[in-house]
Amino acid sequence: MTISTNQQEQNAIFGFHAVESLLKNQIDSVSELLVLKGRADRRLNAILALAKGASHISIRYLDRHALDRQVGDRHQGIVAICSEQLEKDEGDLEDILQGQRESIFLLILDGVTDPHNLGACIRSANAAGVTAVIIPKDKSARLNSTALKVACGAAQYTPVVRVTNLARTLKWLQQYGIWIVGAAGEAEETIYQAEFTGSVALVMGNEGKGLRRLTREHCDSLVKIPMSGDVSSLNVSVATGVCLFEALRQRQNT
Ligand SMILES: C[S@@+](CC[C@H](N)C(=O)[O-])C[C@H]1O[C@@H](n2cnc3c(N)ncnc32)[C@H](O)[C@@H]1O
C-alpha cells in the first residue's frame, strides 16, 4: 500500500506506546503494521501478538530506510497504518458527553498549532481524567503522527473532537450546563481562587496570540496561573498541565 505524505501524516502512528495502545483500544482502525526487519525483542513480540490476533491487519517487514521514508526516523521500529481517522467530529460530541457518568471535564484548545504541544496537552488531559479534548478545524494542529507519538497513547483513550466553529460549540456547551473557564495570563482571578468542580471546560489559547476575542467573549470566567519570574507566559502545554491538575485536585476533594 502506498500512501500520500498528507494522508500518511494523519494515518501513520508510530512508537511503542502509541502503537500498543492503538492495538489494545482501537484495533479495528488499524489496517497494516510496518515492522523493522531483523528486530526481535519482547516488546515488539507483544505488539505482534496483538496484531496477529486480528485477521484484518497485514504485517509488513521493511528495512530501516523504507521505514524512515514512511515517518522519518522516530518510529522505534514499529508503525501502524490506520484506515480510519482517529479524530472525532462534532456530531460525536453529544454522544461522548451523554456517555459520561461523572461530571463533565473538557479541555478546549483554541488554535494550538504545534503538534508537540497538542500531543502533550492530550497526554495531560488523559492523566487528569478529561472527558474529551476539543480543537477547532481551522488554524489548529491535527492529530497527526507527531501529536499521537507525543500523546504516548493517550489519544486512544481520550477522544479528540474537531469542531467547525468553536464559538458556536462553546455556546452549545454552555446550554448543556457546562461552565467555560478560559486561561489567560492577564486574568484577575487565579486558578486557586476559581472553582473547577461540576461540569467544566477549560479553554487554552494559541501559542502566540492566546485566546481569540470571540472565544474570550464566550468564556464564563477567565483565570490566570500566578507567576513570579520574568517571562510573561508559560508554554501552552505546561499551562494546560498546571490548570488541569489544580482542577483535578479540587474535583477529587469534592
Ligand atoms: C504561550 S501562551 C500565549 C501567550 C500570548 N502572548 C498571550 O498573550 O496570551 C499560550 C496559552 O497558554 C496559557 N497560559 C500561559 N501562561 C499562562 C498563565 N500564566 N496563566 C494562564 N494561562 C496561561 C493561555 O491559555 C495562553 O493563551
Name residue, grid cell 454522544.
95
Residue type, 50: L
pLDDT value at 9 more than 90? no
pLDDT value at 131 more than 50? yes
Stronger pLDDT, 41 or 120, i.e. the higher one = 120
Banded pLDDT at 85 (limits 50, 70, 90): confident
Q: Is 238 in the pocket of ligand 1 (CB under 6 A)?
A: no
Span from the CA of 112 to the centroid of ligand 1 (angstroms)? 11
Q: Where in the chain is the domain with CATH 3.40.1280.10?
A: 87-252
Residue 196's SS3 state is coil
Q: Is 205 in the pocket of ligand 1 (CB under 6 A)?
A: yes
Q: Where in the chain is the domain with CATH 3.30.1330.30?
A: 5-82
Name residue, grid cell 482542577.
247
Q: Cell for 129?
A: 481524567
Average pLDDT, the chain: 91
Write down the ipTM of this complex. Answer: 0.98
Question: Model pTM?
Answer: 0.83
pLDDT value at 106 more than 90? yes
Torsion of CA 209, 210, 213, 217, to 10 degrees: 180
- Determine the pLDDT at residue 8: 46
CA-nearest residue, atom 8 of ligand 1: 210
Stronger pLDDT, 12 or 196, i.e. the higher one = 196
Say if CB 68 and CB 8 are below 8 A apart.
no
Longest dimension (CA), the chain: 58
pLDDT value at 236 more than 80? yes
> Minimal CA–CA distance to 119: which of 146, 92, 98, 100?
146
**Residue 236 CA, closest ligand 1 atom number:** 12
pLDDT value at 59 more than 80? yes
Banded pLDDT at 2 (limits 50, 70, 90): very low
**Residue 203 CA, closest ligand 1 atom number:** 25
Q: Is 114 in the pocket of ligand 1 (CB under 6 A)?
A: no
Span from the CA of 234 to the centroid of ligand 1 (angstroms)? 6
**Residue 205 CA, closest ligand 1 atom number:** 27
Banded pLDDT at 1 (limits 50, 70, 90): very low
**Residue 204 CA, closest ligand 1 atom number:** 25
CA-nearest residue, atom 9 of ligand 1: 210
Of 151-155, 169-173, 237-241, give the lowest mean pLDDT range: 151-155
- Determine the pLDDT at residue 10: 53
pLDDT value at 5 more than 70? no
Of 45-49, 198-202, 222-226, 237-241, give the lowest mean pLDDT range: 45-49
For the stretch 18-43, pLDDT in tens is 899 889 888 888 889 999 999 888 98
Say if CB 51 and CB 59 are below 8 A apart.
yes
Distance in angstroms (rounded) separating the CA atoms of residues 250 and 197: 6
Span from the CA of 74 to the centroid of ligand 1 (angstroms)? 30
Substitution candidate for ligand 1 out of 113, 166, 233 with most atoms within 8 A of CB: 233
Span from the CA of 227 to the centroid of ligand 1 (angstroms)? 11
Q: Cell for 143?
A: 492529530
The fourth-level CATH superfamily of domain 5-82 is Ribosomal protein L30/S12 (3.30.1330.30)
Say if CB 206 and CB 110 are below 8 A apart.
yes
| Of 88-97, 145-154, 217-226, highest mean pLDDT | 217-226
Say if CB 135 and CB 112 are below 8 A apart.
yes
Distance in angstroms (rounded) separating the CA atoms of residues 197 and 176: 16
Sign of dihedral through CA atoms 129, 138, 110, 170? negative
> Minimal CA–CA distance to 133: which of 153, 101, 157, 103?
157
Distance in angstroms (rounded) separating the CA atoms of residues 98 and 128: 19
Span from the CA of 24 to the centroid of ligand 1 (angstroms)? 35
Banded pLDDT at 101 (limits 50, 70, 90): confident
CATH 3.40.50.970 fits 87-252, yes or no: no
- Determine the pLDDT at residue 6: 43
Q: Is 234 in the pocket of ligand 1 (CB under 6 A)?
A: yes
Banded pLDDT at 7 (limits 50, 70, 90): very low
Say if CB 90 and CB 69 are below 8 A apart.
no
Task: Describe the strand order of the beta sheet including 78-82 as a list of residue ranges.
Answer: 12-14, 78-82, 30-36, 58-62
Cα 22 to Cα 12, 33, 47, 135, distances in angstroms: 11, 11, 10, 21
